[in-house]
Chain A
């Protein structure tokens, strides 16, 4: 169902809808309340003896109280059994999903590690298939529809996890060694290794080459209060194409006698051009983010943070969408900042090891391939919220990768604000509490550009 939110993570292996978690939590509260009522009724039962005053109504009242006590015990029992059934279903679903993913990952890794030698021979074959598809009239809308199917997204996710295996195998590394180095073994290769291979290959032909970046403009934003809720946070993420080209917004929360706190919002990819021109939020940064920190977008945000007065001790919370989600995840994972919270929408964050113990919410659409490009989601201590945007409904033909669009993530954020389960309500309460007590709120937007004339090296460029 398009309005259904699937929730997992939060240190548990369970996967369930917000609705199911809420039902389970209601039942637990009912059992607790009824237990308390039963204790109180036991005391009431001691107040009057059935034989007192020789009144039949006292005897009947005593019988009713005994009956009510038995029924309350039955309510406790039923609500606990039903609640247990719901949590067991969530655990069972989570276990099955994890098991199937593990199994599929292992099989795919083995196949990829064995058949990688065939890659050079597959290229002309794939080109041929593409040519035939074009001649047969398969257009962009068809491809977009296909890529929006949950099964295709899972295939992309699995594919992201085995690119490294294919590359190693293609380089002649024996399959057992490929398996030992991969995410099923020593985990020294993985998505970052695969991305490095793609970047290396791309740079050989002038693509995906990183450059220095520089601040182009700053603009104050008319914001005077801290955000409240998921949707308001999402709406504060800059839309570079519509708002002066700014890719980063930093809000500063000041309170007397307390250190300044900062919320950093980072927008999504502006151009998908694989050749780095002047826009840092491009395909080159996407690939660099997949390799680790150091992309043009990463260095831009780090510089904006420095300019805003953020140092290693400043409490900071990150919110990002798409490439911005991947970028803020890399910044939080760097350990260079005093990260107090992370919220990502549609970001390729799966294989970025986010700090545990920090309130973190990862929002992904099950029919969006962009988060799937980040590989299997390993941040199980984060609250992971998923939604099948077009589940059972027609997929719009007028947009590429429709489930990745901002409007649908905004819809999801609104559904999250309306959610009942403790997993979601506690998570937003923690994120909202970050700015509690702020007496002054200021907001600044930053626009960065790539600077041509040489490869990048640390800092802002």
Chain B
């Protein structure tokens, strides 16, 4: 039987999981729609500098996505553990 404290934690973890999934989906959409793509017409040093900066930005967004996925993974594992305990 689930302890009252575990029940409260379980509810909070389930809410955390839902919110993390929502935030993750929005960040993944932003990566597709809002990070400038590389098919630009300009050339030269400015283009190279821009490409480098965008590449850095993409890496940072991917790091954010990875951190959120990991947070979601551990949240769901914590939920499973609490359910197993009960």
Residues of A whose CB lies within 8 Å of any CB of B are: 1, 3-4, 17, 19-20, 22-23, 26-27, 29-30, 33-34, 37, 40-41, 43-44, 47-48, 52-53, 55, 57-58, 60-61, 64-65, 67-68, 71-72, 74-75, 78-79, 82, 85-86, 89
B53 & A75 in contact (Cβ 8 Å cutoff): no
Measured CB to CB, the closest approach of chain B to A88, in angstroms, equals 12
B74 & A61 in contact (Cβ 8 Å cutoff): yes
Contact with A along B39-66 (1 / 0, CB 8 A): 0111000100010011011001101100
B75: which A residues are within 8 A, CB to CB?
57-58, 61
Q: Is the interface of B mostly helix, strand, loop or mixed?
A: helix
Listed by A's residue number, 14 A-B pairs whose Cβ atoms lie within 8 Å are A4-B41, A17-B42, A40-B19, A41-B23, A43-B19, A53-B78, A57-B74, A57-B81, A61-B71, A68-B71, A71-B60, A72-B64, A78-B60, A82-B50
Measured CB to CB, the closest approach of chain B to A312, in angstroms, equals 45
A26 & B34 in contact (Cβ 8 Å cutoff): yes
Given known A-B contacts A30-B30, A33-B34, A75-B57, A44 and B78 have beta carbons under 8 A apart:
no
Count of A-B residue pairs with CB < 8 Å: 117
Please name the residue on chain A nearest to B77 by beta carbon: A57
B6: which A residues are within 8 A, CB to CB?
53
Measured CB to CB, the closest approach of chain B to A390, in angstroms, equals 15
Task: Report which residue of A22, A47, A72 has the largest number of chain B beta carbons within 10 angstroms of its beta carbon.
Answer: A47
Measured CB to CB, the closest approach of chain B to A352, in angstroms, equals 31
The number of residues on chain B lying at the interface, defined by a beta carbon within 8 Å of a beta carbon of chain A, is 42
How many angstroms from the CA of A181 to the CA of B18 in the assembled complex?
A: 72
A53 & B54 in contact (Cβ 8 Å cutoff): no
B63: which A residues are within 8 A, CB to CB?
71
A27 & B34 in contact (Cβ 8 Å cutoff): yes
Residues of B whose CB lies within 8 Å of any CB of A are: 5-6, 9, 12-13, 15-16, 19-20, 22-23, 26-27, 30, 33-36, 40-42, 46, 50, 53-54, 56-57, 60-61, 63-64, 67-68, 70-72, 74-75, 77-78, 81-82
Q: Which 8 residue pairs of A and B lie closest in terms of their CB atoms, listed nearest first?
A: A64-B71, A61-B74, A68-B67, A57-B78, A30-B34, A71-B64, A23-B36, A60-B74
How many angstroms from the CA of A458 to the CA of B76 in the assembled complex?
A: 82
Q: Is the interface of A mostly helix, strand, loop or mixed?
A: helix
B35 & A61 in contact (Cβ 8 Å cutoff): no
Given known A-B contacts A27-B34, A47-B16, A48-B13, A64 and B74 have beta carbons under 8 A apart:
yes
Measured CB to CB, the closest approach of chain A to B50, in angstroms, equals 8
How many angstroms from the CA of A58 to the CA of B53 in the assembled complex?
A: 35
B41 & A61 in contact (Cβ 8 Å cutoff): no
How many angstroms from the CA of A26 to the CA of B20 in the assembled complex?
A: 24
A64 & B12 in contact (Cβ 8 Å cutoff): no
Given known A-B contacts A57-B74, A72-B64, A85-B53, A40 and B23 have beta carbons under 8 A apart:
yes
B70 & A64 in contact (Cβ 8 Å cutoff): yes
Measured CB to CB, the closest approach of chain A to B25, in angstroms, equals 10
Measured CB to CB, the closest approach of chain B to A288, in angstroms, equals 40
A30: which B residues are within 8 A, CB to CB?
30, 34-35
How many angstroms from the CA of A454 to the CA of B72 in the assembled complex?
A: 86
A75 & B64 in contact (Cβ 8 Å cutoff): yes
A52 & B40 in contact (Cβ 8 Å cutoff): no
B74 & A26 in contact (Cβ 8 Å cutoff): no
A67 & B67 in contact (Cβ 8 Å cutoff): yes
Please name the residue on chain B nearest to A53 by beta carbon: B9
A17: which B residues are within 8 A, CB to CB?
41-42
Please name the residue on chain B nearest to A45 by beta carbon: B16
Contact of A47 among B12, B41, B50 (CB under 8 A): B12
Measured CB to CB, the closest approach of chain B to A36, in angstroms, equals 8
Measured CB to CB, the closest approach of chain B to A124, in angstroms, equals 46
